[in-house]
Copies of this chain bind each other. A is one copy, B any other.
Amino acid sequence: MTGMWQCQGVTSASTAGAVRQGSLRELNLAVVLRRIAAADRPPSRAEIAARTGLTRATVSAVVDDLIAGRLVTEADPAPRTGAGRPARGLVLAGDGPAGLGLEINVDYLAACVVDLAGAVRHHVVHRADLRPVSPADALTRLAALAADARAAAVRQGLTLAGAALAVPGLVGDGGLVRLAPNLGWRDVDVPRLLAGHRLAEPVDGVPPLVVDNEANLAALGELHAGPPGPASFLHISGEVGIGAGIVLDGTLFRGARGWSGEIGHIPVHPEGRPCRCGGRGCLEQYAGQEAILAAAGLAGAELPADTAATRLADLAAAGDPVTLAALADAGTALGVAVAGVVNLLDLDTVVLGGGYAPLAPWLRPPVVAEISRRVLTAAWSPVTVRPAALGAQSAAVGGAASVVRLIVDRPVGWLARYG
């Protein structure tokens, strides 16, 4: 494949559109930057040319632009055994654009900064029960964390190019939070309430604020944290509520209206315990954080989210029989729901994220047992159940990572201002 070629005509409307939309330079920038982002080890200019089909001269010119725009930097050359001067490898820059990830959950606020290479450069969690706090007050507190994060980014030479806010609920058009049942929010206009706060610098093609479901952003974090390439998995965020992000072939599946992933409301005992949602027997009532705490004899202990999971993990590690039984029951309920999902979607990987990540040693065995027992294809094709790579609070990190991903996918918007 060569990078420059002549064509006489194109008849497919979609193909013609794809070529026309982007200028040649825009396409070249994106192709080279994505190649650097996806490489196992820092590639040289020659290797990029060989893999993309672009000429050496084109790659060099594009790389110069990317370096000047603080998107790419040269890595120390790797030792080589062959003759000649070793070629310098290229890596994503650690002093260019960064993403701001924010999270508001039932019992904590979080803010983090992730650079283009995916490194977390700042991360603060503020623990507080937010159920008695008004949405406006909660968002004012969050804005203070965001301002601290922005200052930390500036100190490290980074420029915040956009922000993503994770919420434990259903997000509608324009960032309106339609319902966050465990927070008690209904129709909260988050962008309006945050309008007075500057969260990031304006960059063409990067929204200044994306509001998304926390389970979605946590799944995106897991996707970008893993090895590059297509992947399909179910990422489950176990907090007070339980949400799922469904990644199919490397893309988050959002559903008809963007409200997919409500795994916490899959019925596991159809006429069982009443749920806040109005239904009965929802998974959340058997495997949500409050259900586990209650079964472990810790109900009303007023533990913040990550403390609750840590506390349960400590008790389980110490062999406390009541805690072990509570986690086994929660894992079985989770396994019943997951087995249904795997039967339906034929996914081969299930990731235990959020508050489930530190509890994975105890939740995993009953989940695996239910899958083995109930999934029709389990005999031929094992399902991997593993803790999330990002651990708890991956939603804020995933949100920040999704911001920088926008720049990797379309660097021209950033370069227009900072190149």
Interface residues in chain A, defined as those with a beta carbon under 8 Å from any beta carbon in chain B: 1, 3-13, 15-19, 22, 24, 27-28, 30-31, 52-54, 58, 170, 172, 178-179, 181, 232, 244, 246, 248, 253-263, 265-270, 277-280, 282, 336-337, 339-341, 343-348, 373-377, 380-381
The CA-CA distance from A178 to B278 in the complex, in Å, is: 41
Instruction: Return chain B residues, CB-CB under 8 Å to A347.
Output: 255-256
Q: Are A15 and B19 in contact (CB under 8 A)?
A: yes
Q: Are B373 and A279 in contact (CB under 8 A)?
A: yes
Q: Are B7 and A3 in contact (CB under 8 A)?
A: no
Within 8 Å by CB of A232, from B11, B58, B256, lies B256
Q: Are A344 and B244 in contact (CB under 8 A)?
A: yes
Within 8 Å by CB of A258, from B3, B27, B277, B346, lies B346
Q: Are A263 and B343 in contact (CB under 8 A)?
A: yes
Q: Are A343 and B266 in contact (CB under 8 A)?
A: yes
Most central of A10, A28, A181, A381 by chain B CB within 10 Å: A10
Instruction: Return chain B residues, CB-CB under 8 Å to A265.
Output: 339-340, 343, 374-376
Specify how many copies of this chain sit in the oligomer.
2
Instruction: Return chain B residues, CB-CB under 8 Å to A343.
Output: 262-263, 265-266
Within 8 Å by CB of A53, from B3, B13, B181, lies B13
Q: Are A266 and B340 in contact (CB under 8 A)?
A: yes
Instruction: Return chain B residues, CB-CB under 8 Å to A336.
Output: 267, 270
18 A–B pairs (Cβ distance < 8 Å), ordered by A: A4-B8, A10-B24, A12-B31, A16-B53, A172-B380, A179-B376, A232-B256, A254-B346, A259-B376, A260-B344, A260-B345, A262-B377, A263-B344, A265-B339, A265-B343, A266-B344, A279-B373, A279-B374
The CA-CA distance from A259 to B256 in the complex, in Å, is: 22
The CA-CA distance from A280 to B18 in the complex, in Å, is: 50
Which B-chain residue is minimally distant from A178 (CB atoms)? B380
Q: Are B10 and A348 in contact (CB under 8 A)?
A: no
Of all A-B residue pairs in the complex, the 8 with the closest CB atoms, nearest first, are A255-B346, A266-B340, A262-B343, A279-B374, A260-B346, A4-B9, A11-B27, A256-B348
Within 8 Å by CB of A270, from B246, B255, B269, lies B269
Within 8 Å by CB of A7, from B19, B263, B280, B340, lies B19
The CA-CA distance from A345 to B261 in the complex, in Å, is: 6
Instruction: Return chain B residues, CB-CB under 8 Å to A7.
Output: 6-7, 10, 19
Q: Are B1 and A13 in contact (CB under 8 A)?
A: yes
Within 8 Å by CB of A11, from B52, B178, B261, lies B52
Which B-chain residue is minimally distant from A54 (CB atoms)? B11
The CA-CA distance from A257 to B172 in the complex, in Å, is: 33
Given pairs A3-B10, A12-B19, 14 additional interface contacts (CB within 8 A):
A5-B10, A8-B24, A12-B27, A179-B377, A254-B346, A255-B345, A257-B377, A260-B346, A262-B376, A262-B377, A265-B339, A265-B340, A267-B340, A268-B270
The CA-CA distance from A273 to B346 in the complex, in Å, is: 23
Q: Are B346 and A259 in contact (CB under 8 A)?
A: yes
The CA-CA distance from A259 to B381 in the complex, in Å, is: 10
Q: Are A344 and B261 in contact (CB under 8 A)?
A: yes
Which B-chain residue is minimally distant from A181 (CB atoms)? B376
Q: Are A31 and B10 in contact (CB under 8 A)?
A: no
Instruction: Return chain B residues, CB-CB under 8 Å to A377.
Output: 170, 178-179, 257, 259, 262
The CA-CA distance from A268 to B13 in the complex, in Å, is: 47
The CA-CA distance from A404 to B143 in the complex, in Å, is: 57
Instruction: Return chain B residues, CB-CB under 8 Å to A259.
Output: 346, 376-377, 381
Instruction: Return chain B residues, CB-CB under 8 Å to A11.
Output: 3, 24, 27-28, 31, 52, 54, 58
The CA-CA distance from A374 to B278 in the complex, in Å, is: 7
The CA-CA distance from A343 to B278 in the complex, in Å, is: 13
